Structure formats: structure tokens, C-alpha cells
Amino acid sequence: MGGNVTVRGALTRNLSLISGLILFAFAATHFLNHAAGLFNLEIMDVVQGWRLAVTRSSPGTIILATALVTHLIAALLKLLGRRTLRLPWWEVTQLVLGLSIPLLLLPHIIDTHVASAMFGVQDSYLYELARLWPGSALTQSVLLVIVWAHGCLGIHHWLKIRSWYRVVRPALVAIAIAVPVAALAGFIVSGRAVAALISDPAISDQVHRLTHWPGSFDGDKLSWLAWMSRTAFAGVLALIGAAIALRQLSALAAPKIAISYSGGPKVLSAFGPTLLEISRANGIAHASACGGRARCGTCRVRIEDGAASLAPPALAERLTLARVKAPDQARLACQIRPAAPLRVLRLVQSGDHVASIAAPTSDDAATQPLCLLYLRIRDIDAIARDRLAFDLLFILNEFYGAAGEKIDQNAGRVDKFAGDGLLAVFGQEHGVERGSRDALRAARAIDLALDRLNEKVAAEIGHPVQVSIGIHTGSFVVGRIGLGKTSVVSVVGLGVDTAQQLASLAQTTSSQLLLSSDAAKYAGVTHLGETQQVTLSSAGGETATVAAVGIMRGRDIEIAQIAELAGSAASEGDNLR
């Protein structure tokens, strides 16, 4: 049942996208036709003739009508299927704009296409402008802006997950501004010209004859159809609103299932909503760049308990998970509908912020041996110098995205960011020995991933991005720190900054990685690099000299070597227990 729902949902999204692109193309050519009014009415009519030769042809009419009906039905079905209306601002904006379009557009369609089909009206620009200007000019201008804004929002959030979009976005933004401005200007200029023209009663009578202007009886019928179409659509919206309200009331009395977020709260939810909808309904920050359309993969979670109760991923989810190289047990929150208790870990940090800060809670507090990996970008000041803020953030986000993916794939989690670096935690679930080896595997994968990152940014910044990595194993306090309804599990206590200091020291040596001797013993790699003495400082200003293993590059670590030496790690690391 769940798989079928997912397949139908994916089909609905694809039909909505395709039909939306068709309608946006029609709107763009229509608005450019408006812009021709900046020259004269004759040019507007010539361009309209070219355009109508396509859109009023039999294939064009069928395609356009099918796209309009499909897009409208898909939008209404999506609205009806929503289990929560707590949405990001851009989704709310697009939803409100989209639902307002039929209320404004239906009378215009009836006055033009329907009038032409029923009464033989020649709905040229002369006819349209004479009817619209000046009485309906404001309404028509608002409709133009709403249609264009709705379409641009949809296209932006469809393309923003594609790497090439950043390159062409400035040009697309300029076009997105220029088209409606030119269209409105053309509409105003030509509207005034026609209004001045038909102010002469003789010319007005001639325009009525040339365009087969509807008589009083036909005009009344057109007005009635416009009113009925608006009323019918408003009635559909009212029915959908009632259905949503009834479902919300039913959910209050329905059986509940428990959803636990690692590093976050535990909530109760009725059956039916997707995990993303559950997060939104409970005010839990959950990344979703595409708005829950199974395109971006940013809502992915790792199922830590309860995976067997979920329906297998459908094609759209499988393709997206494969594209982002998601780790095992990863699923898209926008696609799974929990039918039994789940425990999940959100794998992508959300950009949402919570205004209120709650007192820290200690129900998950524990002292646990862990392996910490600190990754920092070398020479961040040189990269940031003379660079726009947007470009710097793009580079950092590309870096964090590449590193975070490798950390996820090697059973780690990002604990915190610190401007030019991040701290990751390993071994929280599978023990410190495996965690230490996972950290080394992640370091190797990150180093290899830098090659692809540098293909994108090295030419722009003048040199490849280089990193330093510090890895340290120790006993740390792991506790949940609450931030309103959201909270994070974070490591605190003495020694947390050791990995960061090791990364800083690695930057001053020929090594890319510095491992504390304890981390090297647990990982079983004490003989893979040169042991050296390094000086670490404490918060109180005291210093201590400790042994560390330096490794030239992460890619120098062979996975087979980690596995072969892993057997000796456990026996040499008991002092940390």
C-alpha cells in the first residue's frame, strides 16, 4: 500500500513539473507579446498571430488545455494530501500564489477563449485591451505578477540543487525581472493608446463591429460563466479545507506511533504522514531543499531502528539515494510513511533556526569512549580574501557537503561546525575500536573527495583546497542540549579540543593527518606513519607533550591495512574503558 502511494505521488510530481513548464513557457511568450506593446499595437497583433498559430492549433490547444487541467488537479491533490500546513515560507508563498491564480485567470479565459469559441469574438489585442483598460487593468497586472512569481519560484526550487544553476542564476534572475517589467510596461502603453482610441464613439462602434463584441445578452452569459467558474473553484477549495480539518480532528483520536530523533526529541504521530511532514508538524528542523519532492536528497535520514516496518523505496527514492551516494539504511524522509515506531538520525543539517533556547536536558547524558575527527581548511584567510560572501559560502558548503557525505558513509556524524572546520564523532553506536577505524576510512575518503571539489573551485581561488585532520580517542560526556523543540547530542568535557589542536599542528608539519597515540592504537595503525612528539595546551594554559602518529595523506591509508591491524587495537586500548 505504501509503495503504491509513493509511486502515485512520484507520478503526480512529475506531471505537475512537466505541465508547469509548459504553462510557464506559454506565460513567457504571452508576456513577451505584451512587451511588444512598447512599440505599437500593430506589432503586438503580428506577434500574437505567430503565437496563436501554435497555441490555437489543434495540437497546441490540446497540449495547453491538458497542461492547465493536469497542473491544477495535481496541485489540488497535493493540497488534499498534505498532513500539515506548517511549511517553509517559500512553499507557503508558492501555494498561496498558485491557488489565487485560477480565481483571477478563469474570468480572463472566459472573456477570450470561451467568448471566441461560443460567440465568434475576435479576441485580438484590440479587443482584450478595450475590455481590460482601465477598469480591470489593476487586476490583470496583479495576475501577471502572480503567475510569473509562482512559476519562477517553482523553477528556482527545481533547479537550485543542480551544480550548474549557480553559474547561470544571475542571468536567469535578470531575465526573471526584465520580462514582467517589460510586459507591464507594454500593457500600460498599449492600454492607454487603445483607451484614447475608443474614446471616440465612432471608432468605438467600429472596434465593436471588427471584433464581434459580445452583445448585452452574450455579455451577461459570459459574466455568469465567470462567476460560476470562480464559485465552483472556491467551493472545491472549501471542500478540500473541510477534508483537511476533518482529517486533523480524526488524527487527534487515532492511535499513535513513536518517532525518536537521534540528537532530538521523541514525538507521537498518527499513521499516514511522511516523516518529513511529522517533523514539520512538530516544529522539528528538517532539511528539505526541494520541498519533499524526492529530488534533492537533503531530507535523508538513517533508520537506526524500525527499518523493517517501512515499505521498500520506490524508483524516485532509489535514484535520489544513489545519486547522493547515501549510506546504508538511509531513506528519504519525504517518502517514508512510518507505520511502526522508528528511531532516525537526520543526516543533513537544517538551515532552520529556533528562537527560544530551552534548558539543557540530561536524560541522554553518558560518559562514553569515542573517536573524534576534526577537519579544517588550510589557509582559509587567503581563500576568503577579496571574495564575495556568497562565493565564500559556496566554497565552504561544497567542502562541508563533500566531507559530510564521507562522514555519513562511514558511520560518523557531524557534531558541530566551526567556520573553517568541523568536528565529527565516531564510535557512538558501534564501539570505539570500530569508530577509530571508521574515522580513518572517513579521512581517506575525504582526501580523495577533495580531488572532485578542487575541479570546481581550484581555478577560482588560484590553488587547490588543502585540509588538515586531527583524530583523537578518549572518554567524553555525550549529552542532549535542547534548543526549543529541537536539540542536538553533543560531546563535551576535557579533551574535546585535542582533535582540533592536532589538526592545527598537522598544518605546520608535512602530515595531512595527526592521530593521537590512543587513536592510533585503537585503529591499529601505529606503524602506518611516523610517531612524533607534539605539544598540546589545556584551557588553563598548561602544556603537555604527547605522542602522535603523522600520516602524509589520507589516501595513503589502505583499507586493507586498517582491517589487518584492527585485531590488535582492542587489546591495546583497554586503558580508556
Distance (Å, whole) CA 155 – CA 162: 12
Domain's final residue, options 247, 270, 291: 247
- The tally of domains found in the chain comes to 3
What cell was used for 330?
A: 538511509
pLDDT recorded at residue 561: 55
- 357 part of a folded domain: no
Q: Are residues 482 and 359 in contact, defined by beta-carbon separation less than 8 angstroms? A: yes
Identity of residue 243: A
Distance (Å, whole) CA 317 – CA 178: 37
pLDDT recorded at residue 378: 85
For residue 182, what are the contacts with CB-CB under 8 A and spacing of at least 6?
31, 32, 34, 35, 38
Domain's final residue, options 346, 375, 409: 346
Q: Are residues 341 and 370 in the same domain?
A: no
Q: Are residues 330 and 196 in the same domain?
A: no
Q: What is the CATH number of the domain that holds 509?
A: 3.30.70.1230
Q: Are residues 286 and 259 in contact, defined by beta-carbon separation less than 8 angstroms? A: no
Q: Are residues 433 and 567 in the same domain?
A: yes
Bridge partners of 389?
Answer: none
Q: Are residues 416 and 373 in contact, defined by beta-carbon separation less than 8 angstroms? A: no
Distance (Å, whole) CA 434 – CA 426: 8
Q: Are residues 213 and 265 in the same domain?
A: no
What cell was used for 372?
A: 573524534
- 351 part of a folded domain: no
Q: What is the CATH number of the domain that holds 336?
A: 3.10.20.30
Domain with 152 in it:
2-247
CA proximity to 503, closest of 358, 403, 389: 403
Kindly tell me the sign of the dihedral angle through the C-alpha atoms of 28, 30, 33, 35.
negative
Q: Are residues 94 and 164 in the same domain?
A: yes
What cell was used for 7?
A: 509511486
pLDDT recorded at residue 577: 38
- 33 part of a folded domain: yes
Bridge partners of 422?
Answer: 375, 417
How is 77-89 classified by DSSP, letter by letter? HHHHH-S-----H
- 48 part of a folded domain: yes
First to last CA, the chain: 48
Identity of residue 340: A
- 356 part of a folded domain: no
pLDDT recorded at residue 391: 66
Q: Are residues 391 and 283 in the same domain?
A: no
Q: Are residues 278 and 165 in the same domain?
A: no
pLDDT mean by block of 10 residues, the chain; 577 residues: 42 81 96 94 92 91 94 90 83 92 93 90 90 92 96 90 81 96 96 92 91 90 94 95 88 87 83 91 85 84 90 88 80 92 81 35 63 89 67 78 88 83 88 91 92 77 85 84 58 80 87 89 76 78 82 77 48 40
Running DSSP on this structure, what letter comes out for residue 111? I
pLDDT recorded at residue 570: 41
pLDDT recorded at residue 10: 54
Domain's final residue, options 208, 229, 247: 247
Q: Are residues 204 and 83 in the same domain?
A: yes
- 266 part of a folded domain: yes
- 354 part of a folded domain: no
pLDDT recorded at residue 258: 93
Q: Are residues 205 and 302 in the same domain?
A: no
pLDDT recorded at residue 540: 64
Q: What is the largest CA-CA distance in the chain?
A: 104
- 355 part of a folded domain: no
Identity of residue 113: H
Distance (Å, whole) CA 566 – CA 437: 8
Q: Are residues 283 and 330 in the same domain?
A: yes
Q: In which residue are the cell numbers 503526480 written?
A: 12
pLDDT recorded at residue 16: 87
Q: Are residues 75 and 118 in the same domain?
A: yes
pLDDT recorded at residue 489: 67
Q: Are residues 192 and 79 in the same domain?
A: yes
Q: Are residues 358 and 483 in contact, defined by beta-carbon separation less than 8 angstroms? A: yes
